Amino acid sequence: MKEFIEGSGRVRFVAEGREAVYGFIERVLKAQQYRRLSKGQKGIVRRFLAKITGLSRAQVTRLIAGWSRTRRVQAKPPYRRRFPRRYTAEDIGLLAAVDAAHEDLSGPAVGRILEREYEIFGKAEYEVLSPPDLPLLQPLTTGPGRRTGIHRLLCWIRRAGRRSRSRASSGKQNPPVGRTGSLAAGRSVPAPAL
């Protein structure tokens, strides 16, 4: 292995996917009895694996450490932090309809309307949109222009509507008569992560 590392110029292991590379590393470590090797011999095996697989020294070291613990070289499952979603697509559509019906009122005013729809008129679909504490609908006082809750969602819906109206006025898109905004134009708009 030592002569191979020092002698060969550019050699690269061609494998189909990460699983094949990890399987190769696992087989080499098992065949060489890596845990019984001296420190210098471990360095040779590590450099050999880095040269053949094209992985960095740090990646090979991390994979060997995982193999030492579990006797397996396996990929960690991807982890992405996801925040719980407060509003569904139906809630966003309902909020856009209420906002359009009342001609872009302020966030607190729309919040009061939503609260009344649920509490006074008993419409169950407004339950999620009518929080008991209406300060969530107002801007935060921690900084200029910061919004939270439904007010932030309203701002997002209005921006999407303005963009589609500006496209329509420039001749790029013709929205249906009497309906404006990207939600009314029949396109699906991804909801913001709240």
Domain carrying residue 41: 2-70
Q: Tens digit of pLDDT for each residue in 81-111? A: 877 777 788 888 888 888 888 877 777 788 8
Which pLDDT score, from 0 to 100, does residue 162 have?
A: 60
Examine the pLDDT at 155 and tell me if it is beyond 60: yes
Which pLDDT score, from 0 to 100, does residue 44 have?
A: 93
- How many other C-beta atoms are found inside a 10 Å radius of the C-beta of residue 29? 22
Residues 6+ apart with CB under 8 A from 67: 25, 26, 29, 34, 73
Which pLDDT score, from 0 to 100, does residue 169 have?
A: 53
66, 120: one domain: no
| Structural domain contains residue 178 | no
Per-residue confidence at 142, pLDDT binned at 50, 70, 90?
A: very low
Q: What is the mean pLDDT of residues 15-32?
A: 90
Q: Structure pTM?
A: 0.43
- How many other C-beta atoms are found inside a 10 Å radius of the C-beta of residue 137? 26
163, 117: one domain: yes
**Total of domains in the chain:** 2
63, 94: one domain: no
Q: Tens digit of pLDDT for each residue in 64-81? A: 999 999 999 988 888 888
Residues found in the chain: 194
114, 152: one domain: yes
C-alpha span between 191 and 189 (Å, rounded): 6
> What is the chain's mean pLDDT, rounded?
75
| Structural domain contains residue 187 | no
94, 164: one domain: yes
Q: Tens digit of pLDDT for each residue in 109-127? A: 888 888 888 888 888 888 8
Q: Tens digit of pLDDT for each residue in 175-187? A: 454 444 444 444 5
Q: What SS3 class is residue 23?
A: helix
66, 94: one domain: no
| Structural domain contains residue 9 | yes
112: DSSP letter: H
